[in-house]
């Protein structure tokens, strides 16, 4: 969106939550681990890593394992507010900058037919919380408080700020 070219590199990181993890500590730990793993392989690169989770009433809703779980997530989110946490980490020249951004999203009350329609799109199966606000899931959301791009999974304003802390101008 801001005209930068990049290469996506998967980080080989175990994303399993530990019993000590809170939603905030989980995204923080995972984004930092992903950045470290990739920076080790590409020491001259500016490395950006992120990890996003959805929290509803103290429970983490990760990526649904199947359509039945995606449907369950939609039922639970319907008519309620939840928080989206994204850990952002930049690594460059042996230094890192890190920040977690939190936004609150409220779903409108959904009918069983709307839930079935959304689940049938398949869009939510690879997304934390089981929905994508940037796609068909936009129709599910009645309001957002915070950064829209954080809910998508990457706050560009935060990335620019973190880069500046490392002495790098992205814009």
Q: Which residues are catalytic?
A: 51
Identify the CA nearest to 68 among candidates 113, 2, 115: 115
Residue 156 CA to residue 148 CA, distance in Å, equals 10
- Angstrom distances, CA of residue 38 to CA of 49, 100, 123, 124: 9, 19, 27, 27
CA atoms within 13 A on the CB side of 10: 4
Phi and psi based region of residue 165 (left: phi greater than 0; alpha: psi -120 to 50; beta: remaining): alpha
What is the rounded distance in angstroms from the CA atom of residue 11 to the CA atom of residue 33? 8
């Amino acid at each position: 969106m801001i005209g930068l070219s990049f290469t996506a590199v998967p980080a080989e990181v175990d994303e399993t939550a530990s019993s000590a993890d809170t939603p905030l500590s989980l995204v923080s730990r995972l984004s930092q681990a992903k950045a470290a793993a990739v920076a080790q392989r590409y020491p001259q690169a500016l490395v950006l890593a992120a990890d996003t989770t959805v929290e509803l009433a103290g429970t983490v809703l990760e990526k649904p394992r199947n359509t039945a779980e995606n449907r369950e997530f939609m039922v639970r989110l319907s008519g309620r507010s939840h928080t989206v946490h994204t850990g952002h980490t930049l690594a460059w020249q042996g230094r890192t900058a890190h920040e977690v951004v939190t936004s609150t999203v409220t779903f409108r009350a959904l009918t069983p037919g709307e839930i079935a329609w959304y689940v049938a799109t398949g869009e939510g199966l690879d997304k934390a919380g089981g929905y994508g606000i940037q796609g068909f899931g936009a129709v599910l959301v009645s309001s957002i408080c915070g950064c829209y791009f954080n809910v998508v999974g990457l706050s560009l304003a935060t990335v620019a700020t973190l880069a500046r802390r490392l002495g790098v101008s992205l814009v």
